[in-house]
Amino acid sequence: MMLTASAPPLGERRLLADHPSSPLPRVSTKELIDLLTHAGLTGRGGAGFPTARKLASLDGRRPVVVGNAMEGEPLSHKDAVLLQHSPDLVLDGLTILSDALRSSRTILALGARVPAPQPRRGIEVRRLEDSFVAGQETALVNQLNGHDPVPTDPSTPVFRRGVDGRPTLVLNAETLAQLALVVRHGSEWFRSQGHPDDPGTFLVSLTASTERLLPQAGVLEVRRGIPIRELLERGGTDLTCLEAVLVGGYHGAWVPASALDAPLSRGGLAPYGATPGAGIVHLLDVATCPLEAAARVTEYLAEQSARQCGPCLNGLPRMAETMRRLARPGADPRLVDELARLQTLVSGRGACKHPDGTVRFVASTLRVFDRHVDEHVRGYCDRDLPRRTVR
Amino acid sequence: MTTRLHIDWTRCDGHGSCAELLPELLAHDDWGYPVSRTGEPEPAVPRQLDGLARRAVSACPLQALSLRPAG
Amino acid sequence: MNAMLSTALWDLGRGTGVAALVAMTISLVLGILTRSGRDALGLGRFGLNEVHRTAALTGVGLIAVHLGSLLFDPYAQLRLVDLVLPFQGSYRPLWLGLGTLAVDLLGVVTVVSLLRHRVGPRVFKAVHWATYALWPIALLHALGTGTDAATLWLDSIAAACVTVVTGAVLWRLSPSFASRGWHRLPRQVAR
């Protein structure tokens, strides 16, 4: 089944290694599901869903396969780098699925910042309107169906009815590339890096709130479960200026600088309410007021609401306004209670997880920076306002 | 197998008939949208409220409600 | 048919016609109240919607009797085709034609409304807008076709109906109406 002319990449450099072209192995859907189950590949687009299960849940014949390279989150750069450096891997993943599933259509959806690959037969490349929520699974399918790039009611999952009304499989570009490597080199090889419960490698978009903290922002490929400290050191971080690490982007959670030994895996990050997500790691400088940074993020998230769902459309701006007031020294202590109330009010009330992700970020901010919140309430802030800011 | 009241948030405009018919399950939030009173975002519909829940689903002017069997 | 029966049918036709106009007026105003999302007239939101539907269906029933009695009354010279194709009638064809048009619209609105869960909220809403055309057409028909035009009683009823509908529609068009009485940002309904 796994006939490959090229040797499997050694070490952590897999997606970003050189890939001499070789004939693509053909696999059936069943073989593919078994392979992916043994490999333990999970989605690299944010939700981290087991890929084998997603494949198995496809309901019906002649499905549509969609590669998600929308990369609508401002802090994320990995899909752009992947499509720049190893576009064939992504296309291989699509081809493998297209052949196995006998898909009626195979589409690669690109956001504005992602370069288009060389054309390949059978794969439609669509440049789509991107925004923070446009990369969400149902929003992407909705846009491909000619409607607005906004989420649809989750009661009809896309694996039952999606593009053209057909069962649709949406996978992140990096997941597709990993899938292609698993098919070429096997599940054992895939598991040779990473953690038994969270195997393989992944791409991390590393950015920071100041230049002195991280002189060179970039995308690194590392094994799952890598301790945060090791990642930051490899990225060239000046740890002496580090206040905290935002893992998972704007819908993620903070890990304080005192906890850098935490591994970047589902298990390792769980105590902080975070997941590896789409591999976004953003660093906060000690000079940056965390509440100011968080207020700006919350304002951005509120602005990015699709505006379809009342609780999100109204609740997120209220949260942002409250965070903004908390970010000013001399803040009313009752603002924290108001934030708690708003969090319960918007959680789970919307067509997508945008409000929930915002709540996760705000809750984490108040938890990790509780001392700083106290200082603001008492009337002072010991940070300079940063010149280079979050986003 | 419980029945749950599902709100299609892309349709709901906070009209409010549902909260009137099912005050045990729904209240309204700061902006007039229905909010579950049971602690779960999709409230389970007890047997005795089943008839009223069906009326609420039928009466919603935006067809934003549905009943779905769920755990 | 003897003259007494013909007169009775004609009177029934006039009576149900005017009653239907009143029923439709009530339905339209209650429809606007329903859309307003407010609790009014002590009925609550659910109640307003229910009475709106009842008034509408009552109006449909009254129209059915209106059409039936006039079909059977030889004086009215109404043929079956006049129920569907407008402006073909022999008696006051323009004004009668408006009535036919109103019946056509009413038929579509009624069927779509009864089947609203099948056609979905978008189609239901689009068709329902036709009621704003239906009402004035029905009013003009009532004023132009009937032999009671320019009588005090019909003019008074018509004036009352026009007053309440105008008031309700002006309210409907006011900027604060859309948010259903809540202080909130307007949703963006997706295409």
Question: Is C190 in CB contact (< 8 Å) with chain A?
Answer: yes
Answer yes or no: is C67 within a domain.
yes
CATH fold of A196-285: Ubiquitin-like (UB roll) (3.10.20)
CATH class of A29-191: alpha beta
- A290-378 CATH, one of 1.20.1440.230, 1.10.8.60, 3.30.230.10, 3.30.1490.20: 1.20.1440.230
Q: In Å, how far is C190's CA from the nearest CA of chain A?
A: 6
> In sequence order, what are the residues at sequence separation of 6 or more whose Cβ sits closer than 8 angstroms to the Cβ of residue A385?
A288, A289, A292
Alpha helices in chain C (DSSP H): 3-35, 44-72, 93-114, 116-128, 131-145, 152-173
Number of structural domains found in chain C = 1
**Between chains, do B15 and C190 touch, taking CB under 8 Å as contact?**
no
Question: Is C117 in CB contact (< 8 Å) with chain B?
Answer: yes
Model confidence at A390: pLDDT above 50 = no
> In sequence order, what are the residues at sequence separation of 6 or more whose Cβ sits closer than 8 angstroms to the Cβ of residue C114?
none
Closest to B9 (Cβ–Cβ): which among A309, A318, A347?
A309
**Between chains, do A147 and C190 touch, taking CB under 8 Å as contact?**
yes
Q: Is A207 helix (H, G, I), strand (E, B) or coil?
A: strand
> In sequence order, what are the residues at sequence separation of 6 or more whose Cβ sits closer than 8 angstroms to the Cβ of residue A334?
none
Chain segment A137-187, per-residue pLDDT in tens: 999 999 999 999 999 999 999 999 999 999 999 999 999 999 999 999 999
> In sequence order, what are the residues at sequence separation of 6 or more whose Cβ sits closer than 8 angstroms to the Cβ of residue C50?
B59, C43
Confidence of residue C130 (pLDDT cuts 50, 70, 90): very high
Residue extents of the structural domains in chain A: 29-191, 196-285, 290-378
Q: In Å, how far is B21's CA from the nearest CA of chain A?
A: 20
Chain segment A66-77, per-residue pLDDT in tens: 999 999 999 999
Closest to A153 (Cβ–Cβ): which among B8, B13, B35?
B8
φ/ψ of residue A45, rounded to 5 = -95, -5
The pTM score is 0.93
Work out the number of other CB atoms within 10 angstroms of the CB of residue A270.
11
Answer yes or no: is C183 within a domain.
no
Chain segment B13-64, per-residue pLDDT in tens: 999 999 999 999 999 999 999 999 998 999 999 999 999 999 999 999 999 9
Chain segment A339-374, per-residue pLDDT in tens: 999 999 999 999 999 999 999 999 999 999 999 999
Instruction: Look at residue A1 in the predicted model and tell me its pLDDT.
Output: 46
Token readout for C110 is 């009624």
Chain segment A56-105, per-residue pLDDT in tens: 999 878 999 999 999 999 999 999 999 999 999 999 999 999 999 999 99
Work out whether strand A201-208 and strand A218-223 pair parallel, antiparallel, or are unpaired: antiparallel
Instruction: Look at residue A8 in the predicted model and tell me its pLDDT.
Output: 87
Question: Is B16 in CB contact (< 8 Å) with chain A?
Answer: no
CA atoms in the 13 A half-sphere facing the CB of A66: 32
Q: What is the CA radius of gyration of chain B?
A: 11
Chain segment C1-35, per-residue pLDDT in tens: 688 888 888 889 889 999 999 999 999 999 999 99
Task: Write down the mean pLDDT value for chain A.
Answer: 94
Model confidence at C60: pLDDT above 90 = yes
**Between chains, do A148 and C184 touch, taking CB under 8 Å as contact?**
no
Instruction: Look at residue C91 in the predicted model and tell me its pLDDT.
Output: 75
Using a CB-CB distance cutoff of 8 angstroms, which residues of chain A are in contact with residue B41?
347-349
Ordered domains of chain B (ranges, CATH) = 2-62 (3.30.70.20)
Model confidence at A106: pLDDT above 70 = yes
In A99-223 the beta strands, taken as DSSP E runs, fall at 105-110, 124-127, 168-172, 194-195, 198-199, 201-208, 218-223
**Between chains, do A351 and B9 touch, taking CB under 8 Å as contact?**
yes
Choosing among C122, C187, C188, which should be mutated to test the B contact, i.e. which has the most B CBs within 10 A?
C187
Using a CB-CB distance cutoff of 8 angstroms, which residues of chain C are in contact with residue B56?
46
**Between chains, do C182 and B11 touch, taking CB under 8 Å as contact?**
no
Subunits adjacent to chain C (3 or more Cβ pairs under 8 Å): A, B
Range of the domain at C141: 3-177
Using a CB-CB distance cutoff of 8 angstroms, which residues of chain B are in contact with residue C33?
none
